[in-house]
Amino acid sequence: MTQSVGKSVSRKDGIGKATGATKYADDVVLPGMLHGRTIRSTIPRGTVKSIRFDFDTTGFTIVDHRDIPGTNVVALIRDDQPYLVETEVQHVAEPILLLAHADRDVLFAAKVVIEYETLEPVYDPLASAVSFKEISIEKGGVVASLAGAEIVVEGEYRTGHQEHVYIETNGVYAVPEEDGSITVHGSMQCPFYALKALKGLMGPATPVRVVQTETGGGFGGKEEYPSMIAGHAALLAMKSGRPVKIIYDRVEDMVATTKRHPSIVRHRTGLTRAGQLIAMDVEVIIDGGAYATLSEVVLSRGSIHAAGPYRCAHTHIRARAMKTNTPPNGAFRGFGAPQTEFAMEVHMDRIAEQLGMCPVALREMNALVPGDTTATGQTLRRDASALECLREAVARTDFIRKREAYRGTSKGIGLALFYHGAGFTGAGEERLRSRARLDLTGRGVRILVASTEIGQGTRTMHAQIVSDAMGIPYEDVEVAMPDTAVSADSGPTVASRTCMVVGRILERCAQEMKARLAGRTPAEYLDTVGPLSVILEHVPPPWINWDDDTYQGDAYPTYAWGCDVVELELDPDTYEARPTHVTAVQEFGRPIHPALAQGQIEGGTVQGLGFALLERVVMRDGAMANPTLTNYTIPTTLDTPAMDIVMLENHYEGGPFGAKGLGELPIDGPAPAVVNAIRHIGLDLRSIPAIPETLLTCASL
Amino acid sequence: MRFTLNGSAVDVAAHPMKRLLDVLRQECGLTGTKEGCGEGECGACTVLIDGAPVCSCLVPFAQADGATVVTIEGLGGTHPLQQCFMDEVGAQCGICTPGMILAAAVLPAGASLEEIRIGLAGNLCRCTGYSAIYRAVQAAQSRRT
């Protein structure tokens, strides 16, 4: 019996947000604070020849790479991205200089003239000679099996960039402290990523601390790039001796920061005439942009999910992340899986078509069930729910009947079956060794973790877990703002791990705290014994077995599952495809907070519809040419259809109260379901976004 | 410039061409009004001028002269919409919420779902997919009647 888990209790941060009282980075003004600005490259590739200040520099603080006390690199995975260009420029909008001034208007009026020697840029990932990472996942013998297959279906599928469009643009402020240290406050997902990067940048003589400010959306877009901005603000603060705030406007945020990796995925699939998958040969290419940043891990998750939620004895997935002279692409909700699952699911409908089969029957025949092995050779445990999701979605949408009824009209209905691994890939969680901390307070406890609230409900959901595990009221659990000086490093707020992994450590902390209290109230304990703090480390399930070299084994401790059905109408004059109804059936263990979970599914689904239908990044000469919300359009209320959300339960014993991860799953399904619905109308579409200009050029089926 | 701000007569000195958004945030210290795009697309900076929702990033301060301006702070904290946005999880990251609530506050009583969708079409939310916002607005409407 639980008191708050499973109930939609009040959000911890609800009132501040509904009254406008909550302070975001740009809402903070400190005495003596300067505004910071980044001067960026205007060429895609070349070297800096000269820099001239075409303004009166009085009152300005100016920083270039020579002011860096430590190492000029944004430390992440592979240390290849500089904080500030020294001579070589690798992409448009690369930071070269930093300026700060007390008056924002004066600051932005300053003109810096930079002369370059240009080099030939590479924009096409297929033409690039440099790969950041190559992955091969092999099971069985694909070549022989393909040769012997009764039917072989081939296809190439493409997805474009996607911009996060968190409504709060990136922003940080850095404060020089009296003891010579620097504290950076900012909108971000991963304070300890920023800390690691700042330590390298500032060197051993300048201690640093990172504190998250309330964050107005992230979706992966505030995973790695805030480390860059934090460093810039810290450099300006150090040189000026004053607090410095850097807030990007929308154009700068769109031009300079990361996007979802564009992808090209090629399938060659062998089947029996009856529709059984025999062999899958999959090639995945993603465009990494100019620096490695997170591309190799995006590629990893993307390639592991590339064979979809299907059983196939012989698979070979070959994946590579290519360098181009465009701003680095990075984390975006789903992290490579939305791209590869898009390809798989559109391909499945093409297979069904070639076999003359119903797309549901094809999936029913091949969907992974408990006991099956995935492409990495992982044997699924009992918490695998592909068929349950598929059957529920098909039944409640009356899919089979509508599929017939809409034939020959401008209406279409399509579905997609998908899954998403929760937590870091493979041995990632073991390497992270995340920790959580719980402190006793006079009334109850305080949670001190680095997992950030970015809208998804971290504070609320963590407090529910602790409340129930300790048996104290939800109201008596406080949640501290992530602060690297006091919070336990619970790892980054990414990879659908905040509930399943960090929530589970907190559950154990709460159990330990309860045992230590031994029946005393928190106040009694503090009075008689003194302060109490419990810090525990993540313990991965003992059965996890993963080989990073061969990419074989248990890629994730568990998966969440989903099936989306999209109904849409095509305007015969404008070729606009408008979704009219979406059904999302998703199994993610168990919802800790049903309303928050529903919000994740609804929000992720609509982002997926935007990815499918509206959101087109136009790249021209290596830069985003439509970096405004007028020209890069995300779904408004009028673009968003009615949604039917179904949450199925299938508990995962390694998660808190049976919960798995949910954050990313919902964005994997909408795009292929949309394209399959368009296909049902009769257009042979193999790329997104499915804007009218693209649909007009599609062949009719 | 003299105008009525959240029910009180005020006299604020700022350049007449300064964006109302900046005057509210800087001169008046009311940071509940947010900037999301600076070009009137996202609606995060929505305030009410003489009862009509407008993007304050597009309004020069001169236009506030003699007007009645209401920001999110002007709703107090007990407005049914604020309570319902909490109850229905209409706010996730919260950055669009003040503007969204003000846009919803001027919807006619008993507005249908379609009228709510049209009324909020100028306010972008990237977190919720809007459904929870509709639930919050509808709950507030039924509470008002």
Chain-chain contact of A454 with B128 (C-beta, under 8 angstroms): no
CB-based contacts of A300, cutoff 8 Å, min separation 6: A133, A135, A336, A425, A426
Give the separation between CA A410 and CA A677, rounded to whole angstroms.
Answer: 10
Query: Does domain B76-144 fall into CATH 1.10.1060.10?
Result: no
The burial of A399, by beta-carbon neighbours within 10 Å (0-12 exposed, 13-18 middle, 19 or more buried), is given as buried
The answer, for A700 touching chain B at a CB cutoff of 8 Å, is: no
Domain B2-74, CATH among 1.10.150.130, 2.40.30.10, 3.90.1150.10, 3.10.20.30: 3.10.20.30
| C-alpha distances in Å from residue B8, one per residue of A155, A421, B2, B74 | 66, 54, 10, 10
- CA of A701 to nearest chain B CA: how many angstroms apart? 32
* Partners of residue A607 in chain B, C-beta under 8 Å: 126, 129
Q: Which residues sit opposite B9 in a β-bridge?
A: B4
Least CB-CB distance to A637: which of B34, B92, B130? Answer: B130
- pLDDT higher than threshold 60 for residue B117: yes
- Cβ(A318)–Cβ(A127) below 8 Å: no
For residues A343 and A157, the answer to whether their CB atoms sit within 8 Å is yes
Q: Of the candidates A249, A455, A595, which has its C-beta nearest B127's C-beta?
A: A455
In DSSP notation, A458-476 reads HHHHHHHHHHHHHT--GGG
Q: How many CB atoms lie within 10 A of CB B135?
A: 19
Helix (H, G, I), strand (E, B) or coil at A429: helix
Residue A512's contacts (CB-CB under 8 Å, 6 or more residues apart) are A534, A536
Q: What is the mean pLDDT of chain A?
A: 97
What secondary structure letter does DSSP report for B75? G
Q: Give the span between the Cα atoms of A188 and A195, in whole angstroms.
A: 12
Asked if residues A495 and A411 have their Cβ atoms less than 8 Å apart, the reply is no
Q: Is A426 on the interface with B (CB under 8 A)?
A: no
Residue type at A669?
G
Q: How far apart are CA A506 and CA B63, in angstroms?
A: 53
Q: Which amino acid is at A364?
A: E
Phi, psi of A470 (to 5 degrees): -95, -20
Distances (CA, A) of B43 to A206, A626, B47, B103: 41, 19, 9, 9
- How many other C-beta atoms lie within 10 A of the C-beta of residue B109? 7
Sequence-separated (6 or more) residues with CB below 8 Å from residue A388: A561, A587, A648, A650
CA of B25 vs chain A CAs: smallest distance (Å): 8
Backbone angle region of A93, left / alpha / beta, with phi > 0 → left and psi within -120 to 50 → alpha? left
Q: Is A607 on the interface with B (CB under 8 A)?
A: yes
* Phi and psi angles of residue A230, each rounded to the nearest 5 degrees, phi first: -60, -45
In chain B, the residue whose alpha carbon lies closest to the alpha carbon of A22 is B32
CA A537 to CA A372: how far, in whole Å? 31
**Single-letter code of the amino acid located at A233:** A
Identify the three-state secondary structure at position A335.
coil
CA distance B2 to chain A (A): 24
The stretches in chain A having pLDDT less than 50 are none
Q: Do B93 and A216 touch (CB under 8 A)?
A: yes
> Are A599 and B126 a contacting pair at CB < 8 A?
no
pLDDT score at A2: 67
Number of inter-chain CB pairs under 8 A, A vs B: 167
The string of DSSP letters for A113-164 reads EEEEEE------TTT-S-EEEEEEEEES-HHHHHHT-SEEEEEEEEE--B--
Residue A182 structure tokens: 């620097």
Residue of A13, A18, A640 with shortest CB distance to B129: A640
CB pair distance less than 8 Å for B121 and A603: no
Domains of chain A as residue ranges with CATH: 14-22+434-537 (3.30.365.10), 32-120+165-256 (3.30.365.10), 132-162+259-425+553-700 (3.30.365.10)
Provide the H-helix boundaries in A292-336: 295-304
Neighbours of A483 (CB within 10 A): 16
Helices and strands of chain B, counted as H and E runs: 5, 5
Q: What gap in Å lies between CA A376 and CA A60, rounded to an integer? A: 56
For residues A669 and A586, give the distance between their C-alpha atoms in angstroms, rounded to a whole number.
Answer: 10
* Most distant CA pair in chain A, distance: 79
Non-local CB neighbours of A57 within 8 Å, separated by 6+ positions: none
Q: What is the pLDDT of residue B144?
A: 72
Closest CA to A678 of A350, A451, A430: A350
SS (H, E, C) A658-686: HCCCCCCHHHCCHHHHHHHHHHHHCEECC
Residues 6+ apart with CB under 8 A from A518: none
Q: For residues A237 and A402, give the distance between their C-alpha atoms in angstroms, rounded to a whole number.
A: 62
Of all residues in chain A, the one with the smallest CA distance to B114 is: A638
Residues A136 and A157: their CA atoms lie apart, in Å, by 19
Mean pLDDT of B25-49: 98
For tokens 């509210």, name the residue. B24
Chain A CA closest to residue B100:
A18
Q: Where are the domains of chain B?
A: 2-74, 76-144
Whether the CB of A638 is below 8 Å from some CB of chain B: the reply is: yes
Q: Kindly indicate the confidence band of residue B145, based on its pLDDT and cuts at 50, 70 and 90.
A: low
Q: CB distance A169–B36 less than 8 Å?
A: yes
Cis peptide before A540 (omega within 30 of 0): no
Residues A19, B73: C-beta atoms closer than 8 Å: yes
ipTM above 0.90, yes or no: yes
- List CB contacts of A34: < 8 A, sequence separation 6 or more: A61, A100, A101, A102, A236, A240, A242, A243, A244, A245
pLDDT band at B143 (very low <50, low <70, confident <90, very high): confident
- pLDDT above 90 covers a percentage of chain B that reads 97
H or E segment and range at residue A602 = helix A594-613
Of B75, B86, B97, the CB nearest to A10: B86
| Separation CA A196–CA A200 (nearest Å) | 7
Q: Do the bridges between strand B68-70 and strand B2-5 make them parallel or antiparallel, or are there none, so unpaired?
A: parallel
Q: Which of A694, A666, A531 lies closest to A596 in space, CA to CA?
A: A666
The residues facing A114 across adjacent strands are A51
Q: Are A14 and B91 in contact (CB under 8 A)?
A: yes
